[in-house]
Amino acid sequence: MRLLQLHYFIEVAETENVSQTAKKLHISQPALSRSIRELEQELGVEFFSRNKHSLELNPQGKSFQHNIQKALEMIDSAVIDARRLNELKGAVP
């Protein structure tokens, strides 16, 4: 499970469209399709209902989307907080 895969998943979950998301993320369509599929295989969970032509987020996918989105936001905040503390370093007289 890679961090980038999780970001990719969030974007695809919002649009339910790989081609469109690939353009937005500036990566190729196959690379994005593979990332999502490998994530599902590794976790042993299918997040999308596939009919060989389109994707639809299922209940597991919706749950995962919600939880992972919060986790990613938390990581972003952790970085921002650390950088802020780093800026203040030595600012106390």
Rounded CA-CA distance 75/70 in Å is 9
Residue 6 touching a second copy (CB under 8 A): yes
Q: Say whether 48 sits in a helix, a strand or coil.
A: strand
Residue 11's binding partner out of a second copy, DNA, none, with CB under 5 to 8 Å set by partner kind: none
Q: Name beta bridge partners: 55.
A: 50
Task: Compute the least distance from the CB of residue 92 to DNA, in Å.
Answer: 25
26/70 with CB nearer DNA: 26
Choosing from 10, 11, 24, 37, the residue that interacts with DNA (CB under 7 A) is 37
Q: Name beta bridge partners: 49.
A: 56
29/67 with CB nearer a second copy: 67
Q: Is 22 in contact with 36 (CB distance < 8 Å)?
A: no
